[in-house]
Structure 1
Amino acid sequence: MTADERMAAARASGPPAPGERPSIAPAGRLGSLLVSSGQTAVGADGRLIAEGRVGAEIDLAEARRCAWQCTLNVLDAVRADVGGLERIASTVRLTVYVAGVPEFTDQHLVADAATECLLRVLGPEVGRHARAAIGVAALPTGSPVEVEAVFELA
């Protein structure tokens, strides 16, 4: 079946029923670039370490802890994809999404924790990056923070 034929079939069938999730890769590659999928604040037990919006159910300290965990999850996904963190030559960009109340304007302080995590794990030469900290109304499964990154591989 060609891509055009699969597209026609997709138009006819519509989206899957709620609860059916597509298989999403933990990272995608383009040449020497590796782009992580967004990672939420899921701990080692597979559960969110905190749930809610920053400025309501979550305070700044807890949001920073979530950003740290999200970043560890990004690094876990990258390590699994490339076989080791030593394959990272540089961190190109970090994007941190923060679910908060409309009045919350310290997204950059939450994102600082993600930056600090990358610098601690990868070192300043590899971990230094461009960054965006973006406030959003909500994130998947109620996570207060989601982090994604772009890395250059050696």
Structure 2
Amino acid sequence: MSHIESQLQRLGLKLPAPILLPPGVKLSFPWVHISGSRAYISGHGPLDSDGSIAGPLGKVGKDLSLEEGYRAARLTALAMLASLKVALGDLDRVDSWLRVFGMVNTDSSFNSYPLVINGFSDLIAEVYGGERGSHARSAIGVAGLPFDLPVEIEAEVLIRP
């Protein structure tokens, strides 16, 4: 078992199954694109353990509380780690997290986007630790996301051969 998988287990965290797209939806891009020493991770949302989209869905600040948004961002981190494991074979190949871009589905009355996306950043820091888990980040609010997801997050990581 890899160091990162041991860390996940120690934290009581489990990776979900690979993403199950809703019926009729066809994927026309990779979840993870590897180019040289970098992996570019497409936008991910929160998943249940079986790989299906996790609820609750809707707008943070209206349909979901800040805490539920934070939890959705944590589930999104686990979904992204699951995709990285499939693409890389071993989560220990992630040398460092470089950049994270988080989008929060909300209306104009909510502006605590960074507090929601902290759910993602906090989990990555817990799993990878200081230097490896530290990353540059943006968090913005948007009027809508696919399938009414509360958050969508993309990232870029430096990888080892």
Scaled to the shorter chain, the TM-score interval is 0.7 to 0.9
2:142 aligned residue = 136
Query: Any conservation in 1 of the 2:45–2:53 contact (CA below 8 Å)?
Result: no
TM-score (norm 1): 0.84
- Picking from 35, 45, 53, the partner of 1:40 is 45
Q: What secondary structure is seen at the aligned counterpart in 2 of 1:51?
A: coil
Alpha-carbon deviations, 1:44-67, whole Å to 9, x = none? 131322101011111100000000
Once the 2 structures are TM-superposed, how far is the Cα of residue 142 of structure 1 from its aligned partner?
A: 0.8
Specify every segment of 5 or more residues in structure 1 that has no aligned partner in the other structure, as ranges: 1-18
Letter in 2 for 1:74: M
Aligned to 2:106: 100
| CA positional deviation for 1:20 | 5.1
- Match in the other structure for 1:25: 30
Q: Answer yes or no: is the 8 Å Cα contact 1:41–1:50 preserved in 2.
A: no
Cα deviation digits, residues 64-91 of structure 1 (max 9, x gap): 0000000111111111100111001110
Alignment of 1:74-113 (within 5 A): 74-113=80-119
Distance, in Å, in 1 between the alignment partners of 2:25 and 2:126 is 37
TM-score, structure 2 length as denominator? 0.80
Q: CA deviation at 1:148?
A: 1.1
Number of matched residues?
A: 136
| SS of alignment partner, residue 127 of structure 2 | helix
Runs of 5+ unmatched residues, structure 2: 1-23
Runs of 4+ residues over 3 Å off in structure 1: none
Query: Which residue in the other structure is 2:19 paired with?
Result: none
CA offsets per residue over residues 100-140 of structure 1, 9 Å max, x none? 11111100001111110100111112110000001101111
| Counterparts of 1:79 and 1:126, CA distance in 2 | 16
In 2, the alpha carbon distance for the partners of 1:76 and 1:94 equals 16
Q: Distance in 1 between matches of 2:25 and 2:103?
A: 25
Deviations 1:11-56 (A, max 9, x none): xxxxxxxx45233311002210101111111211313221010111
Q: Please say which structure displays the higher CA radius of gyration.
A: 1
- Cα RMSD, aligned residues only: 1.2
Identical pairs, percent: 32
